[in-house]
Structure 1
Amino acid sequence: MESIEGKKRHNRIEQSYIGRGEYPVKSLVTYLSTLNLRNSISMASLVIALVIITGCSTSQSTSTPPAESTSTSIHTEHSMSMDHIGTTAIAPEGSVSKRPAQITRTPQTIKSKTINLIAQTSYLEIEKGKFLPVWTFNHSVPGPQIEVMQGDTVNIHLKNQLKVPVSLHVHGVVLPNDMDGVPGMTQDAIQPGESFTYTFKANHAGTYWYHSHQDSLNQIGKGLYGSFIVKQKQDNVSADHTLVLDEWSDPNTVVPANENNTLAINSNMGAYNIYTVNGRSGDDIEPIVVHQGDHVRLRLIHAGNMTQTLYIHSSAYRVTATDGQDINQPQLLNNGLLVIAPGERYDIEFTADQTGLAWIGMVGKSTLAQSVRIPILIKKANTTPTSTEIQQQISAQRKQMTSIPDITQPSLDLTTYGQPTKSEFTLSSTFDREYTLDLDMGVIDGKMSYTINKEAYPQVSQLKVKTGEAVKITLINESKNEDHPMHLHGHSFEVLSKNGQALTGSPIWKDTINVRPGDTYVIAFRANNPGMWMVHCHELHHAAMGMMTDVIYEDFESQYHPDPAAGNISE
């Protein structure tokens, strides 16, 4: 029999989707017709390739698909219709060449426990003389970097000056449930002209980010995100830089004729033809300048929808943290590859021993991947080069940065990296609840959907827990060629095994894990944050098409009651 809490949750879901028709949503075919496509590929074949074959971001995984597993979750019927599935991608507005009156500014850094954010429109100079209409926090993309100290109580005042509702989710920070920023689940979306204050304590130092969780496929896609850094009071780095990766679709940007990455379509129903780092592309990517002797930290944040492989051109570096969680005794690495999926973060540290040029670049033969080169210029100590001198030195060595590394070498495997130490869970631990989530694609109510255990949100089994319980989840990617970076709200989880093999390196704690085709991960968490929490794929096309579920505390009673007129869109 369905619980009272479950019925209330279902009513909230139904109310949260009222008003969807007010959004300017276009169909997939209409969306793709706005893009510059090669004449040799027909629109019909492209739609078939995307929707039926799901030919998106490819994987080189050769793992054997896991055996059939039985989920212990309990199915609960939802009465909400599935009309929204597959129709949430809005065709992008094209760039303009005439300089607009309002263009974005360089992202600021706000070092304060009280932060004022304004959601507003602007134009991003995505390339020289090309201005893309965007939505921003405080007129920048990314939005301002928020820096607080561990233990601070943070107040973020968000005012909405857009014409659509918005919200704010601080991704990876363990928040009180009513501050999680999920419209229709924890709050109503902030209406145009209105404000909301998010208050929480930053308990754990690390690299996080914030973004809208209202219609997030479109709102993050238009620029509503920024970095959120929680610093320790004692830190051993002398240079600290944040790099936010993203991809954009611009109908007025022509895909190069020699583009080997077919039409730059790397994500299901996402055709991306501009890649950015901190809002800049190509030669305009801002270089990192450090000095000899500096101990440097680079914080990598992925705000886009495509799994990217990065080449770290450095003779000695360590990956010291992932998703804000430290790695125990990480080994030195040398000129290696790092795979970063949507929603993930990685901290890289190195000592700038020698002057010269190091760099980070995307791996791939496509011109789009080769356009992402992040120069790291190491200058002599106590020198202050001018911007002209910096550009001259980088230009002189740019040919070096365009070299393509050996992409056959293995990328960093976190399951074997670092040194073992005592942790909370092992595969032999006793668990109060165990769930299996099969991640795939299928037809639900006549619509193509991304599924969990053959179901699509909101008609999907919830994960029920009680406060204090130990919870184990097995994640299985049944997709043939698509990654599923799964993000758990309100908690961090420990990774226990990959493809049946227990971790042999450092304990790994994350909030977003990329499950590649054919892979199986076992993760575990302690149910120590009562509330109603989302679990969803952070390839946001997949979430918008159904790859979401909820963790529901059976001993939690929410005081939130959705406004049916709020136009809440929780994914």
Structure 2
Amino acid sequence: MITRRNFLRMTGAAGALSLTSSPSLLAAADDGFIELRARPATASLLGEDAPPSKVWSFNGTVPGPTIRARRGDTLRVRLVNELDQATSVHWHGIRIDNAMDGVAGLTQAAVEPGETFDYVFTVPDAGTYWYHSHNRSWEQVERGLYGALIVDEPESAFAVDDEATLVIDDWRVGSDGRLDEDFGNMMDWSHGGRLGNWPTVNGATRPTIPLAVGRPVRLRLINAANARIFELDLAALGARIVAYDGQSLAAPETPAYNPFLLGPAQRMDILLEAPDAGVLPLREVSGGAFDLAYLDFRQADAAATRPAPLIPAALPEPDLANARTFDLHMEGGMMGRMVGAIVDGQYIEGKALWQSGQVWAFNGVAGLAETPFFRAKAGETVVVRVINDTAFPHAMHVHGHHFRVLERSGSAIKHTPWRDTFLVGPTQTTTIAFVADNPGKWLFHCHMLEHQAAGMKTWFQVA
């Protein structure tokens, strides 16, 4: 395996030579369908002069091609499965029709090898989203089955030349380019998840991102890693945040803390105000500072213009006075106190529990329960207290809805943004609230994908 020290040594001299912009755009065919072909491919994860890596891809690239639409558009996407494993596609963060959510085993059957599936849905909110496999996702996302989904306002707030999408990932890969294929490693599943040793942005090592100088620039950041929480030095960029998880703020805000944590599946849009010509690093600092990418500000072809005002989505505010409250007790993992759990309707404990691979539980149940975590009427406000009785952080994702975080460990949070994925720290309790206004069966799970595979998932139903 490549260590962090070797990574710095191998990339230090030539790290800024890879020039890239946002992932390529995907256009619709004559029948109106965008085609996503899930298939094996190779990628130069370690650099153009290093051995290529065998990956799984959408349309031959990692990340897959960017899908771009405008708010209110109807997307038609045809998944063609050219893998030897069943798959599906989840449209992460989209308030979507339940049948199109892409969760194999809950909202649809997995798409078998050689088969196709048509996704047809409307995108109600402008913002930064992403798509990824949702069958055996702990393996398939790690192999590269993901891409960006960008939804613009009908009158876009930013010209495309004044923004870039940066899909950040980490890979567990050797110096020979081979991915570590031990995807069922119980050390990963029972600890912090599969943490890679080689970071990439848009599938490249330390790429240079060309951007316009002298005008506001928007960066759309997407964390596509299985389990890593990236700690980003936004202060060095002078960045302000304009959106979380696809949902625009009413006005740009200065980050409340630095470094800023970007958990698995979370997105963040940041604004850089008319930078001068030159190169700035996008820096990750969790284990000592290293550069993920370089932002190369160059002379623009046109005069600088101010972007249009940001437009927050018209999401229904939770009615806390009339809300119902539910507790989600998280337990398990190494250094945890879980003795046993219900797996497939049967209570097991000890060695048998670990042999089952289900080592995390929600409210005493590991994996999807037969009955929902809760049932809500359409339009009802729901408050969920997530009690993390484990030794690890978790990135919790609510499908089909956005929520506000109300409290962390008893401390109220004011003016909290809309999110679809939140971090809850070890032994911490986090309270969220949302209006259950999207009918269907919705997944609620940890987006540390090994944790999800090992039991951290449940579902709720909206009538």
Question: Shared topology, TM-score over 0.5?
Answer: yes
Q: Does 1:373 pair with 2:298?
A: no
Partner Cα separation in structure 1 for residue 276 and residue 395 of structure 2: 37
Q: Does 1:249 pair with 2:172?
A: yes
Match of 1:430 among 293, 312, 322: 322
Q: Which stretches in structure 1 are left out of the alignment for 5+ residues? A: 1-34, 38-105, 255-263, 384-420, 556-571
Match of 1:141 among 44, 62, 74: 62
Deviation at 1:474, TM superposition (A): 0.7
**2:367 aligned partner, one-letter code:** Y
Partner Cα separation in structure 1 for residue 86 and residue 428 of structure 2: 37
Specify whether residues 313 and 265 from structure 1 end up closer, same or farther in structure 2 by C-alpha distance, changes over 3 A only: farther
Q: Does 1:272 pair with 2:165?
A: no
Partner Cα separation in structure 2 for residue 159 and residue 423 of structure 1: 36
Deviation at 1:484, TM superposition (A): 0.7
SS of 1:218's partner is helix
Q: How does 1:188-267 map to 2 (within 5 A)?
A: 188-238=109-159, 239-252=162-175
Partner Cα separation in structure 1 for residue 295 and residue 104 of structure 2: 40
- The answer to whether the Cα contact below 8 Å between 2:195 and 2:228 also exists between their aligned partners in 1 is no
Q: Does 1:337 pair with 2:337?
A: no
SS of 2:327's partner is strand
Aligned-residue sequence identity (percent) comes to 34
Q: How does 1:67-466 map to 2 (within 5 A)?
A: 107-110=23-26, 112=28, 114-127=33-46, 128-238=49-159, 239-252=162-175, 268=192, 270-281=194-205, 285-304=206-225, 305-312=227-234, 314=236, 316-332=238-254, 336-365=258-287, 370=290, 372-382=291-301, 424-425=317-318, 428-431=320-323, 433-441=324-332, 442=338, 443-444=340-341, 445=348, 446-448=352-354, 449-459=359-369, 462-466=373-377
Q: Aligned residue for 1:496?
A: 406
Partner Cα separation in structure 2 for residue 203 and residue 131 of structure 1: 39
Deviation at 1:352, TM superposition (A): 2.2
Match of 2:383 among 448, 472, 483: 472
Partner Cα separation in structure 2 for residue 265 and residue 290 of structure 1: 38
Deviation at 1:338, TM superposition (A): 1.2
Q: Which stretches in structure 2 are left out of the alignment for 5+ residues? A: 4-21, 178-186, 303-313, 333-337, 342-347
Partner Cα separation in structure 2 for residue 334 and residue 359 of structure 1: 21
Deviation at 1:359, TM superposition (A): 2.0
SS of 2:451's partner is helix
SS of 2:134's partner is coil
Partner Cα separation in structure 2 for residue 334 and residue 509 of structure 1: 16
Partner Cα separation in structure 2 for residue 169 and residue 513 of structure 1: 18
Partner Cα separation in structure 1 for residue 364 and residue 399 of structure 2: 22
Specify whether residues 458 and 235 from structure 1 end up closer, same or farther in structure 2 by C-alpha distance, changes over 3 A only: closer
**1:510 aligned partner, one-letter code:** R
Bigger shift: residues 518-527 or 483-492: 518-527
Deviation at 1:472, TM superposition (A): 0.7
SS of 1:309's partner is strand
**1:549 aligned partner, one-letter code:** T
Partner Cα separation in structure 1 for residue 274 and residue 37 of structure 2: 38
Partner Cα separation in structure 1 for residue 193 and residue 165 of structure 2: 29
- The answer to whether the Cα contact below 8 Å between 1:477 and 1:520 also exists between their aligned partners in 2 is yes
Instruction: From the CA coordinates, give the structure whose radius of gyration is larger.
Output: 1
**2:455 aligned partner, one-letter code:** G
Specify whether residues 522 and 313 from structure 1 end up closer, same or farther in structure 2 by C-alpha distance, changes over 3 A only: closer
Deviation at 1:500, TM superposition (A): 1.9
Aligned length: 397
Specify whether residues 538 and 176 from structure 1 end up closer, same or farther in structure 2 by C-alpha distance, changes over 3 A only: same
Partner Cα separation in structure 2 for residue 220 and residue 422 of structure 1: 30
Deviations 1:217-242 (A, max 9, x none): 00101000000000012233241111
Partner Cα separation in structure 2 for residue 510 and residue 487 of structure 1: 9
Match of 1:545 among 441, 454, 461: 454
RMSD (Å) for aligned C-alpha atoms? 2.7
SS of 1:233's partner is coil
SS of 1:330's partner is strand
Specify whether residues 439 and 328 from structure 1 end up closer, same or farther in structure 2 by C-alpha distance, changes over 3 A only: farther
SS of 1:110's partner is coil
Q: Does 1:529 pair with 2:450?
A: no
- The answer to whether the Cα contact below 8 Å between 2:68 and 2:151 also exists between their aligned partners in 1 is yes
SS of 2:366's partner is coil
Partner Cα separation in structure 2 for residue 500 and residue 207 of structure 1: 31
SS of 2:44's partner is strand
Deviation at 1:36, TM superposition (A): 8.1
**2:321 aligned partner, one-letter code:** S
Partner Cα separation in structure 2 for residue 154 and residue 148 of structure 1: 8
Deviations 1:503-556 (A, max 9, x none): 23x341111111111322211111211111110000011000000000123x4x
Deviation at 1:483, TM superposition (A): 1.2
Partner Cα separation in structure 2 for residue 525 and residue 452 of structure 1: 20
Partner Cα separation in structure 2 for residue 241 and residue 334 of structure 1: 23
SS of 2:219's partner is strand
Deviation at 1:111, TM superposition (A): 5.0
**1:525 aligned partner, one-letter code:** F
- The answer to whether the Cα contact below 8 Å between 1:485 and 1:514 also exists between their aligned partners in 2 is yes
Deviation at 1:450, TM superposition (A): 1.2
Partner Cα separation in structure 2 for residue 265 and residue 182 of structure 1: 23
TM-score, scaled relative to structure 1: 0.65
Specify whether residues 315 and 271 from structure 1 end up closer, same or farther in structure 2 by C-alpha distance, changes over 3 A only: closer
**2:170 aligned partner, one-letter code:** E
Partner Cα separation in structure 2 for residue 423 and residue 467 of structure 1: 12
SS of 1:546's partner is coil
Partner Cα separation in structure 2 for residue 158 and residue 265 of structure 1: 30
SS of 1:126's partner is coil
Partner Cα separation in structure 1 for residue 193 and residue 176 of structure 2: 17
Deviation at 1:244, TM superposition (A): 0.8
- The answer to whether the Cα contact below 8 Å between 1:313 and 1:360 also exists between their aligned partners in 2 is no
Q: Aligned residue for 2:428?
A: 519
**1:527 aligned partner, one-letter code:** A
- The answer to whether the Cα contact below 8 Å between 2:318 and 2:435 also exists between their aligned partners in 1 is no
**2:331 aligned partner, one-letter code:** D
SS of 1:144's partner is strand
Partner Cα separation in structure 1 for residue 318 and residue 461 of structure 2: 21
**1:318 aligned partner, one-letter code:** R
